[in-house]
């Protein structure tokens, strides 16, 4: 595992300390072993996970301009990308992981404990949690492979405090998704997104959409799950990166 990780970091011209490399290697080992019994990620080989999981997450954080040391809320955490990578690398001091699938939430809780990471895991839906104490409270929120940008902004945006940032990790259709999400972002209290592109080794195009929250979430938002299904029909440009 460590050879695959070091090769991916070298190909991306990324340099991390020995402690971060060791932590990321343990994370890779843990998630890929668990993936044999539970469908956590399509990145099934060490080489693929190192390049398109770990390197992608590191590059996204750097491209976003987010400040290190900012507590994170990650929505739809799944296999732990990007939140567990950012914790292992020391980019964020603590992460709250929100996952709507019970088994994945259980995996995340076990992984954080096994790796000794400062993370709390909540099994639930972001649009429901945003009606309580988490509303307009987080300085930094992220989501990767959650949904197309319009729905992702609606679901996650109410968690971001005014002055905070929402980071959506996206693929080559990021510009198309950003344009589609503009009315939703404005309604949810965000300034227009900044699209910050980057490449993975091999020329794979990625981008992070950075939304800055300008005002509190309006009443009635985010919509209920039933209303979300009506307002945001499934999109072919959505979840997959």
**What is the average per-residue pLDDT within 38-56?**
95
The pLDDT score that the predictor gives to residue 233 is 73
User: Does residue 13 form part of some domain?
Assistant: yes
Residues 6 or more apart whose Cβ sits within 8 Å of residue 91: 61, 66, 68
CA proximity to 66, closest of 144, 133, 166, 160 = 166
The pLDDT score that the predictor gives to residue 1 is 85
User: Does residue 227 form part of some domain?
Assistant: yes
The pLDDT score that the predictor gives to residue 231 is 84
User: Does residue 186 form part of some domain?
Assistant: yes
Structure tokens at 52: 């398109």
- Can you tell me whether residue 37 is helix, strand or coil? coil
User: The domain spanning residue 170 has which CATH number?
Assistant: 3.40.50.150
Residue 239 binned pLDDT confidence (cut-offs 50, 70, 90): low
Query: What percentage of the chain reaches a pLDDT higher than 90?
Result: 90
The CA-atom distances, in angstroms, between 122 and each of 132, 173, 199 are: 13, 30, 32
User: Does residue 236 form part of some domain?
Assistant: no
User: Does residue 238 form part of some domain?
Assistant: no
User: Does residue 241 form part of some domain?
Assistant: no
For the cut 60, the answer to whether the pLDDT of residue 240 exceeds it is: no
Q: Where are the alpha helices (DSSP H) in 36-173?
A: 46-49, 56-64, 83-88, 102-115, 126-129, 149-157
For the cut 80, the answer to whether the pLDDT of residue 236 exceeds it is: no
The pLDDT score that the predictor gives to residue 235 is 59
The number of folded domains in the chain is 1
Q: What is the mean pLDDT of the chain?
A: 94
Q: How far apart are CA 5 and CA 107, in angstroms?
A: 22
Residue that is written with structure tokens 């990578």 in the block = 85
The pLDDT score that the predictor gives to residue 170 is 97
Q: Between 233 and 145, whose confidence is greater?
A: 145
For the cut 70, the answer to whether the pLDDT of residue 238 exceeds it is: no
Parallel, antiparallel or unpaired: strands 204-212 and 194-200: antiparallel
Contact between 120 and 96 under an 8 Å Cβ cutoff? The reply is yes
Q: How far apart are CA 109 and CA 121, in angstroms?
A: 6
102-157 pLDDT, tens digit each = 999 999 999 999 999 999 999 999 999 999 999 999 999 999 989 999 999 999 99
Q: How far apart are CA 226 and CA 237, in angstroms?
A: 21
User: Does residue 207 form part of some domain?
Assistant: yes
For the cut 70, the answer to whether the pLDDT of residue 210 exceeds it is: yes
The pLDDT score that the predictor gives to residue 184 is 97
149-186 pLDDT, tens digit each = 999 999 999 999 999 999 999 999 999 999 999 999 99
The pLDDT score that the predictor gives to residue 237 is 46
Residue-range definition of the domain harbouring residue 202: 2-231
Q: How far apart are CA 186 and CA 182, in angstroms?
A: 6
User: Does residue 10 form part of some domain?
Assistant: yes
For the cut 90, the answer to whether the pLDDT of residue 230 exceeds it is: no
């Amino acid at each position: 595992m460590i050879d695959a990780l070091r090769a991916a970091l070298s190909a991306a011209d990324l340099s991390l300390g020995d402690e971060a490399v060791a932590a990321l290697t343990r994370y890779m080992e843990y998630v890929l072993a668990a993936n044999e019994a539970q469908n956590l990620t399509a990145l099934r080989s060490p080489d693929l996970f190192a390049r398109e999981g770990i390197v992608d997450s590191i590059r996204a954080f750097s491209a976003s301009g987010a400040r290190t040391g900012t507590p994170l809320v990650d929505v739809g955490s799944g296999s732990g990308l990007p939140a567990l990578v950012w914790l292992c690398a020391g980019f964020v001091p603590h992460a709250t992981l929100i996952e709507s699938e019970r088994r994945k939430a259980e995996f995340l809780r076990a992984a954080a404990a096994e790796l000794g990471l400062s993370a709390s895991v909540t099994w639930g839906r972001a649009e429901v949690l945003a009606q309580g104490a988490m509303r307009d409270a987080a300085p930094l929120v992220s989501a990767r492979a959650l949904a197309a940008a319009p729905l992702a902004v609606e679901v996650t945006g109410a968690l971001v405090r005014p002055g905070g940032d929402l980071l959506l990790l996206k693929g080559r259709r990021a510009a198309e998704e950003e344009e589609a999400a503009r009315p939703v972002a404005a309604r949810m209290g965000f300034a227009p997104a900044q699209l910050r592109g980057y490449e993975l080794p091999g020329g794979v195009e990625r981008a992070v959409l950075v939304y800055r929250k300008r005002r509190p979430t309006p009443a009635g938002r985010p919509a209920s799950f039933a209303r979300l299904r009506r307002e945001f029909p499934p999109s072919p440009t959505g979840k997959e990166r």
